[in-house]
Every structure is written in structure tokens, then in C-alpha cells.
């Protein structure tokens, strides 16, 4: 079987709306390596978009899932509940930032977590409006894509968005938007479009994912918390991509001196198995009535078992500390290339949630073509990379945090060679 043969079949069988980054069809994977159906090996710097932070098929995760398979695979927690669901909720209640009593609900995807966070916020506040940010990504459901601050490809052709959602410019100094300017727009929004007393929640990614791996400035997050407290607005931290050791902390909000009222999470929680969660202040989480939250597959036993094992692995293998170490090595290597690769405009990211942004040399003009050339050439050399950003000019790095040192060194060498070659060809 060949990749191009399966690609042809895929084109005939699957909606074009499901885009793919590569035409590499996976056969097996271990830790940070993937082998395709033709037997070629790749180093994975995507991790299923920050899902397998603990590596492909981590032995502890696989063992936990196999053990669960021997007991039961599905009862629907709302019908016949199970203890490990309760145990994982207790652990998340302890781990999510905030010195207050918390409660948790499990769902299946990050978008579903966001949907439920908005439902909970509206029920708790008896308000309807939600404020999000440009460049944000919160999912592909109708509320998720409405909250998302990027039109193409997420909103194009899908008609009217959900009502009572407003966007404020995300502060990115590199693109000329200061925190002060963002706050000024928010102030105008309160004066011109929506009474702050009608706003249920702010929703913010501590580090924007699809938007380009931009961190929320600390002072801005502090001010946002102050405004939330002033107006009785809840703060929702979307930690779907930033959670579970990716930024050098269990949750990215730990980098700030303030905490969110509600936290959404998914991706890295399941180590490759579908599970998502919403954790928040107990009184807020109890606002919806019985039956108002949940879902047939929410907190599926397989995902729950994987989630408990993932938390064990993060603690036992000290993955928060390892994320910092790996990220520093990556950023240092990229920094050493700034003269040889004049397209590099910025290198950033906490822990091992890192990115490099490219502009046309000597300008502030985003260079998406260069980013795509880097991605394609790296793939040819056996390194899987992802692009992101509103302008498509950012390469993001999301390798499993468990990547072996020798494999990581090999990946950095491929990355350097790729960048140098692309710069010479430009």
C-alpha cells in the first residue's frame, strides 16, 4: 500500500472540508516517532496538535486503557456511574489553579468543553453576552466558531453566527496592538455595543493556539481579571491546547498572578484518547440543573482511564520541568539562526509551546510562503511541523514532551538544515 494510493481513495471518500496537513498515512507510532504505511520514519513535532504530550502509546496510558477494556467500555456515566470518573474529577479539582472549592464535568472534545463553559457561565450569571478575542480558536461547533477570531477557514460559508458574541483585538505587540489599545477597544465596546452588566464571561486562551502562539501579556490578564470582578463577569480560561505540562506548568494560567473561574481542557488530558473537561468554582458549576450538562460519551471510561494515567505520567516523569528544558534548547537553536535566516521575525513561547514567526526580510510583512516552504521541506526530511497564525506565517512546535534526547537532537538538526536551505533559496 502506498501513500498516494490512499490519498486518492481519501479524496473520493471524505469531505474536502476535512483538511489535512500531510499525505503521510500512519501505520504505527511510538513516543515521538511515526512510521507511515510505506515504512518511512518521521519525527513528530505535532503530537496530534498537542494531544500526545506524554508521547504516542505511553506504556502507562496503554496499560490503564487495557485494564479498563477488561472491565467495561461504556455504561454512560449518567446511567451507571463509575469510580474512576469521580477520581479524575477530584484530581482536576485539586490541580486547576484557584484556592476555592471546584467541581468538574467531563465531555468528549475541546469544542464541547467550550460550549459547556458558556452554558455554565450563562446559567450562573443569568446573562447572555460573551467576549472573546481576535485570533482565538475555540472549536468548530456553532458557538465555538462564533467565539473563534478567524474567518477563513472556520466561518466561511456557514451563515450567521451565534448572537451576543463580541471580539476585542488580542494584544500582540509584533503586530502593532498594545495591551492598552486592546483595553481601550474593550472600553468602547462597553460604551457602544454591550452593557458590561449583560456580559456573562470573557473567554481567553492564555497562549493563543491556532492564532499564532502569542502569550497574553501578564498585565493584560491582570486587568482583565479586575474588569471581570468589577462587572460580575466570569473569566473562562481555554486551556485546551495549553494544558497538561505543555507550557512548563500543569496549566498555563499558573504563569499569571490571577485565576480563572472556569477552565476548559481536552487534548493532552487523554494522551491520545478522546476526553475533555470543564472545571470551575463549585457554586458556578452547580448553576445548571440536573440533566443540563453531560452527554452520552462524556467521560467515557476509556478516556477517563487514560486521563488518570496521564496525570500520573506528568508527575512521575516531571514533564513540566522537561517542557522548560526542551523549549529552552529549541529557542536557543532558533536564536542562533537569526543571522542566517533573516526571515525570522520572532521566537517565542513558554515551556515547550514554542513558535517561530517569519516576515519578509527587513519588513513587518508576514511571509506565509516561507513558513509553508519550511514545513514542506522539513516533511521531506522526516520532520512533521505545523503552521498557524492569522497570517499563516508561523511554525509551531508541539513535540511530545517525552521525546528522547537523541531524537530531539536529530529533529533540531533537521530543523536547522531546513531553515538554512529555505533562506538560501528565498
Classify domain 62-316 by CATH architecture: 3-Layer(aba) Sandwich (3.40)
Using the 8-state DSSP alphabet, how is residue 189 labeled? H
**Residues 26-74 pLDDT 10s:** 999 999 999 999 999 999 999 999 999 999 999 999 999 999 999 999 9
Distance, in Å, from the CA atom of 27 to the CA atom of 46, rounded to the nearest integer, reads 16
* Banded model confidence at residue 409, pLDDT cuts 50, 70, 90: very high
Distance, in Å, from the CA atom of 1 to the CA atom of 379, rounded to the nearest integer, reads 20
CA atoms within 13 A on the CB side of 410: 16
Distance, in Å, from the CA atom of 40 to the CA atom of 165, rounded to the nearest integer, reads 46
| C-alpha grid cell, residue 198 | 449583560
Contact by Cβ (8 Å): 205, 195: no
**Residues 232-262 pLDDT 10s:** 999 999 999 999 999 999 999 999 999 999 9
Classify domain 3-54+318-425 by CATH architecture: Alpha-Beta Complex (3.90)
The residues of the chain that CATH labels 3.90.1150.10 are 3-54+318-425
Q: What is the pTM of this model?
A: 0.97
Tell me phi and psi for residue 264, to 5 degrees: -105, 145
Q: Are strands 344-348 and 276-281 parallel, antiparallel or unpaired?
A: unpaired
The residues of the chain that CATH labels 3.40.640.10 are 62-316
Amino acid at each position: 500500500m502506498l501513500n498516494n494510493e490512499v490519498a486518492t481513495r481519501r479524496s473520493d471518500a471524505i469531505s474536502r472540508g476535512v483538511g489535512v496537513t500531510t499525505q503521510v498515512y500512519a501505520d504505527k507510532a511510538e513516543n515521538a516517532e511515526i512510521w507511515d504505511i510505506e515504512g518511512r520514519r518521521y519525527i513528530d513535532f505535532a503530537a496530534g496538535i498537542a494531544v500526545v504530550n506524554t508521547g504516542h502509546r505511553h506504556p502507562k496510558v496503554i496499560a490503564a486503557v487495557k485494564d479498563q477494556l477488561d472491565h467495561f467500555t461504556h455504561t454512560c456515566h449518567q446511567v451507571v456511574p463509575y469510580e474512576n470518573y469521580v477520581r479524575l474529577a477530584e484530581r482536576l479539582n485539586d490541580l486547576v489553579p484557584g484556592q476555592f472549592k471546584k467541581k468538574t464535568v467531563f465531555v468528549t472534545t475541546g469544542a464541547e468543553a467550550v460550549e459547556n463553559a458558556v452554558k455554565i457561565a450563562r446559567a450562573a450569571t443569568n446573562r447572555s453576552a460573551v467576549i472573546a478575542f481576535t485570533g482565538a480558536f475555540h472549536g468548530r461547533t456553532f458557538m465555538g466558531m462564533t467565539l473563534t477570531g478567524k474567518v477563513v477557514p472556520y466561518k466561511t460559508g456557514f451563515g450567521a453566527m451565534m448572537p451576543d458574541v463580541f471580539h476585542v483585538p488580542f494584544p500582540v505587540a509584533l503586530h502593532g496592538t498594545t495591551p492598552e489599545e486592546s483595553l481601550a477597544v474593550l472600553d468602547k465596546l462597553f460604551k457602544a455595543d454591550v452593557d458590561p452588566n449583560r456580559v456573562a464571561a470573557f473567554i481567553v486562551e492564555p497562549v493563543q493556539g491556532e492564532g499564532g502562539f502569542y502569550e497574553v501579556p501578564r498585565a493584560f490578564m491582570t486587568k482583565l481579571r479586575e474588569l471581570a470582578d468589577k462587572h460580575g463577569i466570569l473569566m473562562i480560561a481555554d486551556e485546551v491546547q495549553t494544558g497538561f505540562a505543555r507550557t512548563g506548568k500543569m496549566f498555563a494560567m499558573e504563569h499569571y498572578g490571577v485565576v480563572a473561574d472556569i477552565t476548559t481542557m481536552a487534548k493532552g488530558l487523554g494522551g491520545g484518547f478522546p476526553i475533555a473537561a470543564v472545571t470551575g468554582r463549585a457554586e458556578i458549576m452547580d448553576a445548571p440543573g440536573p440533566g443540563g450538562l453531560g452527554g452520552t460519551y462524556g467521560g467515557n471510561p476509556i478516556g477517563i482511564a487514560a486521563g488518570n494515567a496521564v496525570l500520573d505520567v506528568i508527575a512521575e516523569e516531571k514533564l513540566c520541568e522537561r517542557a522548560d528544558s526542551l523549549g529552552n534548547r529549541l529557542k536557543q537553536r532558533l536564536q542562533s539562526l537569526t543571522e542566517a535566516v533573516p526571515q525570522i521575525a520572532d521566537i517565542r513561547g513558554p515551556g515547550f509551546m514554542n513558535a517561530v514567526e517569519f516576515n519578509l526580510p527587513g519588513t513587518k510583512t508576514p511571509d506565509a510562503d516561507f513558513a509553508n516552504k519550511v514545513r514542506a521541506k522539513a516533511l521531506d526530511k522526516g520532520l512533521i511541523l505545523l503552521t498557524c497564525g492569522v497570517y499563516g506565517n508561523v511554525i509551531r512546535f508541539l513535540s511530545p514532551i517525552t521525546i528522547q534526547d537523541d531524537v530531539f537532537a536529530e529533529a533540531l538538526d533537521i530543523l536547522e538544515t531546513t531553515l538554512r536551505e529555505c533562506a538560501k533559496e528565498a
